[in-house]
Amino acid sequence: MPFDAHPAEAPGETVAACQDGDPPLISVIVPTFHRPDGAWDAVRSVFAQARAPRFEVLLVDNDKAGTAGDVARSLAALAPVPFRYTVEPQAGVANARNTAVGLARGSYVAFLDDDEVATPGWLAGLMRAQHATGADVVFGPIEAVLGAGAAEPRGYFQDFFSRRMDGPDQLIQKPWGCGNSLLVKATALVGSRPFDASTNETGGEDDVLFEGVRARGGRFGWSQDALVHEIVPDSRASWGYLTKRAFAFGHNTSARWFSGEERSWVKGIASMLRGCLQVLVMAPLAGVLWALRHPRRAWAWDKALRGLGKLLWFGPFKMAFYGQSEARRVERRRAQRRKQADRRASA
């Protein structure tokens, strides 16, 4: 097949490869932000899929500087399937996902994050489970890969970043996150921008989306064979990250009931009350387990912080992991590196 590759010189332009006229059954979307090495590994793992139905790959860069552009051009030269790269310059995880969905040509959309690597049977496993269950959204297992510098208790962090479930392909009640998922586009991704842009800063865009799927009578499924590995850097397998992330999980649990399509003051207040009870029970337990250096101390700390997040979901307590907040952090790091380079050059 011919390749038509060209540089992404401006936001919104694409690097395209291996394009032809027949539409794919599945559009695999890999959103990325300032993680070109991770994007490379994720997309290469998708290129290596075995026994998968016809699919395309969309790499959406949420860094307005297009930091994944060089990687995308290298991927375009290797692509065995239709591949496109585009830049969504407006920071925010919901913005990136919405842009990708707008470009997707498949009847199904699969999401793989830029810190995940799919096993060769990933797509085939997701599709088998979807056909077997008739689910609108199918999720697969995730196994974390920790670095040598991961914090203790190491087993807790292994579990924290993993997704596991016993049993064969089946319908399930609880939805998971977008990473490692397959969605029926017509029923699960309704509208031109299905992900709620109000979650751009905090994350939780998948929680809001899946609440909408549930409200419309949609069903969720599990694929035991659709395994991906999540590559976890030491900076995330740490107590500092756990503290912020657990609080944010709790925050999103309550905040979604006070905004968006599924707004419910009753459910929101109930979530806050559960959070209060959770803090009262788990915070003292976490203190005792910490003093004893018990392996379950991280679990108790996590639960206490999630409860606190449910209670303090508003105003100054809002946790901004993504969007403009993350973009500003990246810009500050870039500025620091430029200053260091200038100092070395003038020395």
Q: Are residues 178 and 327 in the same domain?
A: no
- pLDDT tens by residue, 300-329: 999 999 999 999 999 888 776 655 555 555
At residue 176 the predicted structure's pLDDT band, cuts being 50, 70 and 90, is very high
**Is residue 15 over pLDDT 70?**
no
Task: Please indicate, yes or no, whether residues 165 and 262 belong to a single structural domain of this protein.
Answer: no
| pLDDT score, position 337 | 61
- Residue 344 has a pLDDT of 67
Is pTM, for the whole model, over 0.75?
A: yes
Do residues 178 and 87 share a domain?
yes
DSSP code at position 223: -
Whole-number Å distance between alpha carbons of 54 and 338 = 44
User: Alpha-carbon distance 247 to 257, whole Å?
Assistant: 17
Instruction: Indicate whether 211 belongs to any domain.
Output: yes
* 317/184 same-domain check: no
Mean pLDDT, rounded, for 166-187: 96
Q: Of 232, 257, 274, at which residue does a domain stop?
A: 232
Question: pLDDT at position 318, please?
Answer: 78
Q: What is the pLDDT of residues 54-110, one digit of tens each?
A: 999 999 999 999 999 999 999 999 999 999 999 999 999 999 999 999 999 999 999
Residue 1 maps to a domain: no
Asked whether residue 195 falls in the same domain as residue 317, the answer is: no
**pLDDT one-digit tens code per residue, 124-141:** 999 999 999 999 999 999
Are 305 and 161 part of one and the same domain? no
Q: For residue 5, tell me if it sits in a domain.
A: no
**7: in domain:** no
Q: Mind listing the pLDDT tens digit for each residue in 96-125?
A: 999 999 999 999 999 999 999 999 999 999
Helix/strand/coil (H, E, C) string of 293-345?
Answer: CCCCHHHHHHHHHHHHHHHCCCHHHCCCCCHHHHHHHHHHHHHHHHHHHHHHH
pLDDT at 2 over 50: no
Domain of residue 305 covers: 239-335
Contact 101, 17 (CB under 8 A): no
Q: What sign does the dihedral 97-103-107-113 (CA atoms) show?
A: negative
Residue 347 in domain: no
Q: Is residue 9 part of a domain?
A: no
Whether residue 87 is contained in a domain is answered as yes
> Do 64 and 120 sit in the same domain of this protein?
yes
* 19 pLDDT more than 80: no
pLDDT of residue 5 exceeding 50: no
For the chain, how many structural domains are there in total?
A: 2
Q: Tell whether 32 and 51 lie within a shared domain.
A: yes
Q: If you compute the radius of gyration of the chain from its CA atoms, what whole number of angstroms results?
A: 21
Domain assignment of residue 341, yes or no: no
User: Cis peptide leading into 295, omega within 30 of 0?
Assistant: no
Domain boundary among 185, 201, 232: 232
Say which CATH number the domain at 181 has.
3.90.550.10
Residue where one domain finishes, among candidates 232, 263, 286: 232
The average pLDDT across 248-274 equals: 88
Q: Per-residue confidence at 8, pLDDT binned at 50, 70, 90?
A: very low
Task: Identify the pLDDT of residue 21.
Answer: 66
The predicted pLDDT at position 260 comes to 65
